[in-house]
Structure 1
Amino acid sequence: MKGPLSGIRVLDISRAISGPYGAMILADLGAEVIHVEAPEGETSRFRAGPNYKGESFHYLSWNRNKKDLVLDFGTKLGKEAFFDLVRISDIVWNNFRPGSMERLGADYETLKKINPKIIYVSITGYGPTGPFKGRPAFDVAILGHTGVLNLTGEPGGTPVRPGPPVADMGGGIFAAIGALAALHERDRTGEGRKIDIAMQDVCISLLSYYFCQYFVTGAAPKPLDHSGHAFSVPYGIYKTRKGYIAIGPSWPRVARVIGADSLIDDPRFKDWDGRDQHRVELNAIIEEHLAKADAEDWVELFEAEDIPAGLLKDIDQVAVDPQVLHQNMILTLKHPLGGELTLAGNPIKMEGLSEEEYTAPPILNQHEHDVLTGLLGYSEEKIKNLRQEEKERTEERLSHVRKVW
């Protein structure tokens, strides 16, 4: 596929969200991403919930524009095939717990002996070393550990998980940035690099504003009334006669638009300190005025005064929003099992990227011939032997399970 990363080959052996999402970013930019899966498929492929022709929406969300190949690292020929791919690739991409890649015999120290120019990207929950390195890491646990959950919701209420998986997706994004930096450095030095991305660290970086606030004031930030902003009042989510509206920094213009001009010179609200001290009272007065009209009407009035404001929409509304469609953020792709699959698009817009060439997430082992024969030159007999080894190992494992039970 055409794009600025055309000619870069990535071996994506990750699973779930953080790894596949980050690798998909590289694929969207033109890299050849080969998603290497175990014979049973990676964990997100067959998860419960909505699916398209048996493929989980979870898997479909993060894996477009990739090729797919099954390899069993526990077999001699499976490991050999992976090493052969490492020799002709630029990036190896994983999101396993620390120690897992060593047990597979596919850690950085091993792979750089095979290809000294390889860039090795590892996404973990808490980092490759330290007291928490072996902890299982899921998005919500990381969000709690890093303080994100205690900053959401309303004062005195139950902490609220953000809609998107922030730690997972942030991990993938920062990993992609790290990989691009390593590619640039390799152009100058000819050497590969190991890149470690901890989802913990990603969340702390995303909370830079709050950490700075804490270190300056000595007080830990907490949720604010109306999902407000520590240094901007009014700001947040407000109820109208029908629906909710999100309002950004706009004082005193917002007071004029809602017909509350008297608030502007009110001693309680005249300066920021006063509005901060009386934010609950001010927000309540603003909502009283907003109750006179519907959210859509207020957005129109605010827009006329260049006040940043927006409706609170559901996904079905966003999917048909004219600006979203104009930005080509809703993609329809032909699926290899037939029919068309609709997905959220790529937010990176630049000349040379052709979204018309995008491909749907692949089915399991869809590109065996393209990769093993096309890239590695394997014969049909060698591929047959590889699959036979894989089958025998699977049967051996099943036999062991039966004996245990």
Structure 2
Amino acid sequence: MRGPGEKDSLRSQPLRGMRIVEISSYVAAPLGGMTLAQLGADVIRVEPLDGAVDRTRRPLAESGTSLYWSGLNKGKRAIEVDLSCERGRRLVGDLIVAGGRRGGIVISNSERHQDLTFDTLRARRPDLIHVLLSGRRDGGTAVDYTVQAATGFALLTGPENSTQPVNHLLPAWDVAAGLYLSVGLLAAERHRLLTGEGQQVRVALEDVALATAGNLGYLAEAQLSGTPRERSGNYVYGSFGRDFATADGGRLMIVALTARHWRDLLAATGLTDAVSALASALGVDFAEESTRYRHRKVLGELLAGWFEGRPLAEAEAALRATLVLWSTYRSFTELAADDAHVLRQNPLMAEVRQPGVGRHWAPGSPVVMDGEQSPPAVSPLVGQHTGEVLRAELGLTATDVAELSGSGVIGTRADGDAEHEKPYDRGKLLTHGATR
């Protein structure tokens, strides 16, 4: 019989009982796997001997441990297998097709190995769900920054007077593709539950960017308008919004999407009469969003004068009494500062003890299920769960595992240390080292 605490924890784990094998690297596919792991799926990350190439990607902790890798692989189990040899690939194939109703699911961003492709694995298990990320739909390679270059976004980002492309720091297409991978997997699993049929799910990074450009109207605008869109700098396109500097060097982002937002902004800054007079002189109505955008520069200069004459604290106090959308600009360092309390006050975050990194605040799942959300978990060490997974999932004996290790098919860390060899407990993995 479950206690109240156990019942609550299951609310945030709706995918418990689902087992996924992940063969991937970098951002999109690992993010897709972690998204599912945070919702309760048992995600087994397959890495080559000595770990995947992205295990050393920046930013790094002082120990050299990748903070990037640790952040994208929380809550997974990790096995270390030589995929360059046929025996290693067969072992991974066995793991993919095993597991009964909870298994038969794989996420990958490579079709390099013929014996791990959809067709080969489906011949072994007809209800296989194979989720594949590619750069382009034709199978060609692409990464987030090349997709940015190919789809127009980099030429609309940056200062108004610049003609140079500006790449965005956020790998938006990697992030969106990772979430599409997880959605596609869940849709295929739902179809399998209803029909017993497996299928391949394919997501191309470039298609994600093109779909977004189309969904936001950018592609239609380019097709139907004879005038190319110009860069807007820090102005919000199509509405009124921009950044403003204060007298003491602070800076805020202000957005007024609705007529109510606009009225509140003018009232807070004491510019209602001045802007009303301007509207009369121009013969326009600033209650209309498109009109505010069209005259954004003159309106922006009026508001800039108000903010420049006041310290940040006074501007913030005035805005708090309104419905205006605004925020002070903060650096990552300021966001993470101990005296800011921002991370500690958010239920999304908890303090974890990540091996090789130490104690730090990390996010769990942003998905809240009936008031509950999964806390952050630690990320696995290279080969941490190899022996455990092969014994529990494939029924191998300790002698089998030792022979595979001695033959170089799996990593020499197959049995890990005493703590890592305790029976797999998903609840413990999710909460071990996580404190509030």
TM-score normalised by structure 2 residue count: 0.80
| Contact 1:341–1:360 (CA under 8 A) maintained in structure 2 | no
Shift of 1:303: 2.4
- Map Cα deviations across residues 93-122 of structure 1 (whole Å, 9 max, x no partner): 1112xx4243xx211001111222221111
2:364 and 2:228 map into 1 onto residues whose CA distance is: 37
The corresponding residue for 2:428 is: none
In structure 2, how many angstroms separate the alpha carbons of the residues matched to 1:8 and 1:221? 46
Give the counterpart letter for 1:243 in structure 2: G
**213-222 or 162-171, which moves further after superposition?**
213-222
SS in 1 for 2:55: coil
Counterpart selection for 2:362 from 326, 331, 343: 343
Match of 1:149 among 143, 148, 154: 154
Distance in 1 separating the partners of 2:346 and 2:226: 43
What is the deviation of 1:219?
Answer: 3.6
Partner of 1:175: 181
Cα distance change on mapping 1:353 and 1:106 into 2, 3 Å: farther
Say what the alpha-carbon RMSD is for the aligned residues. Answer: 2.6
Once the two structures are superposed, what CA deviation does each residue of 1:104-144 show, in whole Å capped at 9, x if it has no partner? x21100111122222111111112x2xxx323x22211111
Q: 1:359 to 1:254 in 2, by over 3 A?
A: closer
- Give the Cα separation in 2 of the matches to 1:151 and 1:308: 23
Match of 1:375 among 393, 417, 429: 393
Residues 146 and 79 (structure 1 numbering): CA distance in 2 closer, same or farther, change over 3 Å? same
Retained in 2: the 8 A contact 1:148–1:203?
Answer: no
**Among 54, 65, 71, the residue aligned to 2:64:** 54
| Cα separation, 1, equivalents of 2:116 and 2:326 | 50
SS in 2 for 1:61: helix
Which residue pairs with 2:132 in the alignment? 122
* 1:270 maps onto 2:285 in alignment: yes
Letter in 1 for 2:318: L
Is structure 2 residue 333 aligned with structure 1 residue 333? no
State whether residues 27 and 66 of structure 1, in contact with CA within 8 Å, keep that contact through their aligned partners in structure 2: yes
Asked whether the 8 Å contact 2:61–2:357 carries over to 1, the reply is: no
Aligned to 1:42: 52
- Measured in 2, the distance between the counterparts of 1:159 and 1:338 equals 36
Q: How does 1:5-404 map to 2 (within 5 A)?
A: 5-47=15-57, 49-51=59-61, 53-87=63-97, 88=99, 89-96=103-110, 99-102=111-114, 105-127=115-137, 129=138, 133-135=139-141, 137-157=142-162, 158-207=164-213, 208-209=215-216, 210-225=218-233, 227-232=234-239, 234-241=240-247, 242-249=249-256, 250-261=261-272, 262-266=274-278, 267-268=281-282, 270-271=285-286, 272=288, 274-319=291-336, 324-336=343-355, 339-351=358-370, 355-356=374-375, 358-390=376-408
170-179 or 248-257: bigger deviation:
248-257
Letter of the 1:95 partner, please give it: N
Distance (Å, rounded) in 2 between the aligned partners of 1:21 and 1:370: 24
CA deviation vs aligned residue, 1:158-198 (integer Å, no higher than 9, x gap): 44333321111111011111111111111111111111111
Per-residue displacement from partner, 1:16-67 (whole Å, max 9, x unpaired)?
1111111100000000000000003111102354226432112111000000
CA distance in structure 1 between the partners assigned to 2:136 and 2:246 by the alignment: 42
Q: How many pairs were matched up?
A: 382
2:104·2:127 contact (CA, 8 Å) conserved in 1? yes
SS in 2 for 1:121: strand
Tell me, yes or no, if the aligned pair for 1:86 and 1:115 is still in contact at 8 Å.
no
**SS in structure 1 of the partner of residue 21 of structure 2:** strand
Q: What amino acid does structure 2 have at the position aligned with 1:205?
A: A
Give SS of 1:191's match.
Answer: coil
- Are the equivalent residues in 2 in contact too, given 1:75–1:393 (CA < 8 A)? no
Letter in 2 for 1:155: E
Letter paired with 2:206: Q
Identical-pair percentage: 24
Cα 1:392–1:293, aligned 2, differ >3 Å: closer, same or farther?
A: closer
Q: CA deviation at 1:220?
A: 3.5
**Displacement of 1:287 after TM fit?**
1.0
Decide whether aligned partners of structure 1 residues 392 and 92 sit closer, same or farther in structure 2, where only a CA change above 3 A counts: closer
Compute the displacement of 1:317 (Å). 2.9
Residues 8, 90 of structure 1: 8 Å contact kept: no
User: In the alignment, is the contact (CA less than 8 A) between 1:237 and 1:246 conserved in 2?
Assistant: yes
Q: Which amino acid aligns with 1:347?
A: P
Cα 1:392–1:195 change in 2 (3 A) is closer
Contact (CA 8 Å) 2:404, 2:410: kept in 1 or not?
Answer: no
User: Equivalent residue of 1:164, what SS?
Assistant: coil
So what's the TM-score if we normalise by structure 1?
Answer: 0.86
User: Which shifted more, 204-213 or 362-371?
Assistant: 204-213
CA separation of 1:297 and 1:352: change in aligned 2, threshold 3 A: closer
Q: Deviations over 1:231-284 (max 9, x none)?
A: 21x312222222211111232432232122211331346344654443222222
How far the C-alpha of 1:352 sits from its partner, in A, is 7.9
